Amino acid sequence: MKITVIGTGYVGSVTGACLADLGNEVICLDVDKEKIERFKRGDIPIYEPGLSDLIKRNVREGRLLFTTDKNKAIQDSDVIFIAVGTPSSEDGSVDLRYVESAGKDIGECMNRYKVIVDKSTVPVGTADRVKDIIKKGINGKKYDFDLVSNPEFLREGEAIKDFMNPDRIIIGADNEKAREIMKKIYEGIERTGKPILATDVKSAELIKYASNAMLATRISFMNEIARLCEKTGADIKMIAKGIGLDTRIGPRFLQAGVGYGGSCFPKDVRGLISTGKDYGVDFKILKAVDDVNEEQKRWIIPRIKKEMKELKGKNIAVWGLAFKPKTDDMREAPSITIIKELQELGARITAFDPEAEENAKKLFRDVMYVRTPYDALEACDALVIVTEWDEFRNLDKDKMKRLMKNPLIFDGRNIYSRSEMKKLGFRYLGIGR
């Protein structure tokens, strides 16, 4: 297959690299000349485990190239994936300007039949909108095309694995020709036993939003249960194990913490609420999910204030800045809320994150960054764990205690054993414990 991927952000770069690795000839197209030049040099501007090596190998072997030439990219391809950003507007609705711009370019450059694929997360009905834009760009020329919805389900930090070894592949198409072309693209993955679900376009568009909204709901529900645990003396870790053993529920996404962040859950929950409003559907549950999550990012602050009494001039170590491990993504990260509120209370912040420091520097002022988690602990009055990087789990606890001025830990991700930390002499407070 000859494929073009429009957009070289997180989804576009992973999609392009993985499609090339499956044996397709892939062109990644972007308007950002500087970004394209970085990709050509092998300087990958996105941190994702394994992505740099995957891109470099496929560029070297001639299956993957990067360009800003939209005419060449669109005209030379049989299938065009739209993988541009779909950020939230101020009112929570989805900003489709980049999707619409891609549709306009496709229409103006169209030279023969093509399958156009919405890979970006877009509200239900977007395919019809993009179809009209492409038709307008074609401007009466007799070029046929089909528009398909093929939502992505890529977890940051696990994206290559998720693409190559997915739970399912969703193909939303309204005719058999487009459906068969899409199945051909994924036939290598399907042969490994991974299911392909063929749906209509609108159902495919809605599946992605419904999936993320369900996962976000589980997280916010557990965070509310954690609040009750703190009042009653129950342990949220035991609650999660107990209900996760119910086969109707399962154990995933039942971990309480300081809230979810990133580019997907917050945006998609608000996007689905906004879409519901457009169609006269009031998503009361999802409004509560979003409210609970925003509150949860601040939930740890009163506990810190209560334990430390006075924060002015105190040295607080923060472990983890990215919204989750294995990424440098700071979008809607709980660390943003936590650090800024601690600074407003007069605390001095020393922070460590294995990957997100450069992105964090764009967001914070007066934060000291260090090279190791141990460096952050030197003479600190307390440690706040915000992101559950694996390297935090098995550090030398005795060394941690020696370095800290006060062995006080606020564990926003419950990565340690409460009984072990207490035995070692730490004052240890988790979430819902």
CB distance 349 to 339 below 8 Å:
yes
DSSP H helical ranges for 139-175: 159-164
DSSP H helical ranges for 61-96: 70-75
CB distance 330 to 323 below 8 Å:
yes
Residue 149 to residue 323: CA distance in whole angstroms:
28
Residue 240 to residue 125: CA distance in whole angstroms:
37
DSSP string covering 108-126, please? HH--S-EEEEE-S---TTH
264 is catalytic: yes
Residues composing the chain: 433
DSSP state of 192: T
| 383 bridge partner residues | 317, 409
Catalytic residue (choose from 18, 28, 229, 264): 264
Residue 145 to residue 362: CA distance in whole angstroms:
42
CB distance 88 to 264 below 8 Å:
no
SS3 253: coil
Distances (CA, A) of 318 to 7, 157, 219, 304, 370: 34, 21, 22, 13, 10
Residue 84 to residue 416: CA distance in whole angstroms:
39
- Enumerate residues 6+ apart whose C-beta is below 8 A from 350: 315, 316, 317, 318, 367, 368, 369, 370, 375, 376, 380
- Enumerate residues 6+ apart whose C-beta is below 8 A from 264: 121, 212
- Catalytic machinery residues: 264
